Amino acid sequence: MQLYVVDLLHTSGGSIARNTLAVLPFGKKRQQKVAIGDDSGVLTVFFMKKGAAEVEWRSPPLGRPVSRVALQCGRDKLFVGAGQTIWGFTRKGKEFLKFKTNLTETISSLVVHEAMIWAGGDYLLTIYDSCKDAGFVMSPDRINDLQCAAVAGPQTPLCSIVACQDRHIRVYSGEQLYHQYPVDGPVTALGFLRERVPGSQLPIELLYGTETGRAGLALIDTVDNVMREGCLIEVDEDQPAKRKRRAGVVNIMGADFTGSGEPDVLIGRDDGTVEIWREVLSGSPVLAYEVCLHESIRGLDAGYVTTGDYLEVIVSTYSGRVVALTPADTTGAAAAAASGEVEGGEAQTRPDESPEARAKKVKSLEKEVAALREKLEHARKRYQDLSKSVIAAAVPTKISHRFRLMSDEACYLLTVDSPDPIELVVLRSDVAIDLLDCSEGSTEQTPVVTRSDGDSASPLLATMRCQGDPTRLEVRFRTVEGRYGTMSCFVVPKTSLRVCPLIDIPVKPLSLHERVQELPKDLPLNELRITGSFSLGEVHGWLGACVNDLPARPNQDEECAVFRSTYLGTHMEARYSKGSAVFRTDCVATMRILKEVLSSEATNRKIHLAITTDVQDASLPHVLSLVDRRLSVQHALATQVRLVEPLREIQQQEGTVDFLAPDLRHVIDNADSIKREYEEQPRRLSFLHGLVHDTYVSKWQLKGYPSVSRERLEELTAILNNYNLEVLISFFQEPIR
């Protein structure tokens, strides 16, 4: 598939929020118009004419950043959420509705059907009928997206379909929970594969995407009242694209983009990647097209926008850029050569088809540049007058960041997005963090990283100076469980006003644990029991200070949550209520960390706790066998490095290595990558040895011994240096001396 990337418009209001893009239905012309809202609180509707964008109308400033743009189902009326207020506009720009809701949260989800309005904030979804309260739903966890469909039947009101942070898709009929569907990651995007015919008995085809990068199709059967898995939208394991780490899904929708008669799936991801998948209904989706725009995707829709001849993908990015992915004009090899057309689904720049269109576009751009220069001079003069009496301290650039645990790599990914190019980023942490690597989102270059020798107050000090003009930066970290604190990130944009935003990111004690659906069976579980005069909210807050993926507040009288260590694969179950909490885990180090943190939190609140522990000796060989998988790999790597030079001498003397065993030939063929990996081995071995030390110390501390002798720890270190699993297990089973 060959597509051109065509820039349509760049909003003047700076950055934009998620889901603030909409393609209007057809009007009198064969081209469709596009609506985009930005953080300046302005809704802009534009259309394309002879290759240039022309603004049809702009709304007056709404007073708050636009947080959601939605079309009324089946009609061409625009509804805008900004703050806690909903505005309604006709396609001509006439305001016909201004409705102040009773929400205290910013409207981030909005669906309008006839006189019904579904407006959602972070946790509360409110239903309005003719602008009057008709019900509400309190979500167990944060609401990330919202759709509505006739799930309960064709003659019933639409049901709300909610994407929740706690790895569930929930369907509500009015205020009642109708379906609850678990997935393998926090659900961040919802969409429909195709529009459902009213009265149809076929299942509703619901698309979903997760924060972990997975996308799938769920089927809601309105006849049998069940919700089941359709398929996962991913390539086969044999294809190399499966091994590529994919960013979180921001937008997902269905459209017949390829013209095959079957709906395709369009996906926009957090790292700027746009994907088109075919043959989804067959159960074996095929990735037909993929391109990276190097900015976080904020909105995605489909329509006939640039010429009216092709169905196009319309995309908005964080900085306010609106682009179209349009099928290539293949008439004539000269046009293809002039455009630099490349096979294989890479981004292209569309050639101008006529000198008149080019001249008009240049004239429009010159007029826009002149207006911007005049605006800049006015702002500069105003700033100079203001600076005579006061010091400017407002941050001119809105920085967006995400700190996400990547479960497949057991590390954190810090992503920084800026509307302006980033000059440098400074990192400082009061807790030990292993900086793995970093990359610029908009170039192939890697930032220049300068590490400084930290001290006990700041173990991590690093500066990353960008080489290009990126608006996006990604940094990977690995934390050490049991050590917690705060990491500070100073972002310096390339602006005339040198003010840098400060981002504070908490690092939690059990930072490498992620929430899962259930606890596996047949695990040797240690138990930690806590009783005291604490409330459910207090113990919920204490646990939330230890782990990620826990809702801000409890939803039941007794809560239960299960977590898994992304590094070792151990599990922990927390079951707690007012005055009582029971934690079960197969890792004694996890239980010791929980005990220390919960005791500290209770002491700060002057609450007395009664704590009992039950350590299962069978859990220790279980954990050591999990560590053995990684330790064996590191020791095998050291053996391969020692073989590189002797094997190279054999290759020089004999001229060939075909007579060697396959594993030895593998060492010769991959000698450079093996050496590069070995250079990082000291950090990895130190991390693994630290896990074993913590496990050993935790065992005896939980059994009532305040400390472990220095001689025993030195003996443990010697065993790890001459690693043998049986010897290590035997050492753990010996009584302490």
Asked whether residue 352 carries a pLDDT value surpassing 80, the answer given is no
Residue 642 in any domain: the answer is yes
Report the alpha-carbon distance of residue 691 to residue 625 in Å, rounded. Answer: 13
Tens-digit pLDDT profile for residues 127-147: 999 999 999 999 999 999 999
Confirm whether pTM is higher than 0.85: no
Q: Are residues 648 and 681 in the same domain?
A: yes
Could you tell me which residues come within 8 angstroms of residue 586 by beta carbon, excluding any fewer than 6 positions away? Answer: 523, 524, 525, 526, 570, 571, 619, 622, 623
**636 lies in the same domain as 696:** yes
Whether residues 485 and 539 share a domain: the answer is: no
Amino acid at 558: E
| Residue 562 included in any domain | yes
Q: Are residues 709 and 672 in the same domain?
A: yes
Distances (CA, A) of 291 to 346, 425, 511, 585: 6, 27, 33, 43
**pLDDT score of 237 more than 60:** no
Q: Would you say residue 617 has pLDDT above 70?
A: yes
Evaluate whether residue 389 is within a structural domain.
no
Over range 323-335, report the average pLDDT.
59
Dihedral sign of CA atoms 364, 369, 372, 373 in order: negative
User: Are both 575 and 662 inside the same structural domain?
Assistant: no
Same domain, 726 and 628: yes
Question: Do residues 640 and 666 share a domain?
Answer: yes
Flag whether 73 is in a domain.
no
Do 594 and 632 sit in the same domain of this protein? no
The Cα 699–Cα 339 span in angstroms is 67
pLDDT of 356 strictly over 80: no
- Classify residue 669: in a domain, yes or no: yes
The one-character DSSP state at 533 is S
Q: Give the mean model confidence (pLDDT) for residues 323-334.
A: 61
Greatest pairwise CA separation for the chain in angstroms: 90
Q: State the CB neighbour count (10 A cutoff) for residue 712.
A: 16
How confident is the model over 64-120, as pLDDT tens digits? Answer: 999 999 999 878 899 999 999 999 999 999 999 999 999 999 999 999 998 999 999
Query: Has residue 335 got a pLDDT over 50?
Result: no
Does 491 share its domain with 589? no
CA 658 from centroid of its chain's CA atoms:
46
Q: What is the pLDDT of residue 330?
A: 33
The answer to the question of residue 474 being in a domain is yes
CA dist 668 and 646 (Å) reads 10
pLDDT at 395: 61
Domain boundary among 492, 507, 522: 507
Asked if residue 57 lies in contact with residue 93, where contact means CB atoms within 8 angstroms, the answer is: yes
Q: How far apart are CA 533 and CA 567, in angstroms?
A: 35
Which segments within 19-131 are labelled E, that is strand? 21-23, 34-37, 43-49, 52-58, 66-71, 78-82, 85-89, 95-100, 109-113, 116-120, 124-129
Report residue 319 as tokens: 């900085």
Find the range with the poorest average confidence among 193-207, 381-395, 708-722: 381-395
- Which of 463, 489, 507 is the last residue in one of the domains? 507
Here the CATH number for the domain that contains residue 547 is 3.30.70.1400
Looking at per-residue pLDDT, the higher value among 69 and 261 belongs to: 69
Residue 710 lies in a domain: yes
Query: Over the range 223-253, which residues count as b (16 or more CB within 10 Å of their CB) and which as e?
Result: eeeebeebbebbbeeeeeeeeeebbbbbbbb
Q: Is the pLDDT of residue 169 over 80?
A: yes
Distance, CA of 414 to CA of 400 (rounded, Å): 11
Instruction: Assess whether 422 and 443 both reside in one domain.
Output: yes
Q: Structural domain of residue 593, as residue ranges?
A: 513-614
Determine the pLDDT at residue 75. Answer: 84
Tell me the chain's radius of gyration from C-alpha atoms.
Answer: 29
Structural domain ending residue among the three candidates 507, 523, 550: 507
> Is 605 in the same domain as 623?
no
Domain count along the chain: 3
Domain CATH number, residue 422: 2.60.40
User: Distance between CA 57 and CA 44 in Å, rounded?
Assistant: 6
Q: Which of 95, 72, 74, 73 has its CA nearest to residue 85?
A: 95
Specify whether 726 is located in the same domain as 625: yes
pLDDT of residue 392: 53
What the block records as the tokens of 486 is 């705060």
Q: Is 318 within a domain?
A: no
CA 247, 253, 257, 261 torsion-angle sign: positive
Q: How crowded is residue 263: how many other Cβ atoms within 10 Å of its Cβ?
A: 22
